[in-house]
Structure 1
Amino acid sequence: MAMSVLQIRLEEDLKNEVSALFDRLGMDIPTAVRIFFKRAVAERGLPFEVKEKKLSDDEIESDRLLVALRKAGEMAEKNGAADMTEEEIEAEIKAARAERRARKVRLLEDA
């Protein structure tokens, strides 16, 4: 049967760890990969269950914070505020608050 070469990239630490594991099992990495592929074909899918990791409350909160930061960055880019300095941002906030106070005063005067 014709053979072909499969090349993959992975972290060196992982390669060393899995190589040591397979050595203890009496096989090399190519043999283990062939076993994996044969089982996947026989089962018509991965030969083990794949589940999403259950996140801890801290991890969930971290994910929420990252999503919020990403959205804030996108909004800053969209609104042209991404390149603003801290002083410029503070000045805009101060101006917006002053405008809001002035609007309230005008509403009270008109009432």
Structure 2
Amino acid sequence: MASSLVQFRTEDTEKIKAVQILDRLGLSLPSYLRMCVSRLNQENGIPFSMKLDPEPNPSIRALNRANRIAEEYGISDMTLEEINAEITEARK
């Protein structure tokens, strides 16, 4: 089977970190890159999501909305004790 040499440039720190991770997994960088190319061919595309603006999960959306509401009402800097006091008062 014929083979081709593929070269690319990356930051030294990125390569070092990648090699350290792969060492812990028992893989070499060339083996990993061969796996990536093989998977690309198997999937007939990128084998992972490539979204520009990933939609946050519902819990994160709810927290972000709560933060916006708290900022609108000027209560985003309340302490836990103040929040608990408000809840206790509302329950009376």
Fold-level similarity (TM above 0.5): yes
In the aligned structure 1, how far is the partner of 2:24 from the partner of 2:53? Answer: 28
Where does structure 1 differ by over 4 angstroms across 4 or more consecutive aligned residues?
A: none
State the partner residue of 1:22.
Answer: 22
Gaps of at least 5 residues in structure 2 are: 55-92
SS at match of 2:9: coil
Superposition CA RMSD, Å:
1.1
User: Which one has more relative contact order, counting CA pairs under 8 Å at least 6 apart?
Assistant: 2
In the aligned structure 2, how far is the partner of 1:53 from the partner of 1:36? Answer: 24
SS at match of 2:20: helix
Rg: which structure is higher? 1
Whichever structure has more helix as a proportion of its residues is: 1
State the partner residue of 1:39.
Answer: 39
Q: TM-score scaled to structure 2, two decimals? A: 0.56
Query: Percent same amino acid at aligned positions?
Result: 35
In the aligned structure 2, how far is the partner of 1:17 from the partner of 1:51? Answer: 24
Gaps of at least 5 residues in structure 1 are: 55-111
State the partner residue of 2:50.
Answer: 50
Q: TM-score scaled to structure 1, two decimals? A: 0.46
